[in-house]
Structure 1
């Protein structure tokens, strides 16, 4: 995932946004460790956002 973020920066992306099921604790932990912001947007769904 770090390589994906680095590639996105090189290509000029400013932000990455994704949606993760609340039950997917592994993905949420990884996103948090990589510096993504987490926001509950509806029941069972978390938006993960990284400013690049």
Structure 2
């Protein structure tokens, strides 16, 4: 039913497309920030062990 509405209405198609695209990009940004934070924490732990 949802696909039927999307195929018959370009507005719904573009809305869903941009919504899911934006949502996936947001998740990617959060994951990148998480990995960067973990990387810095890892470096700080190594520096503390050396000192």
TM-score norm. by structure 1 comes to: 0.28
Query: Which structure has greater strand proportion?
Result: 1
Query: Which structure has greater helix proportion?
Result: 2
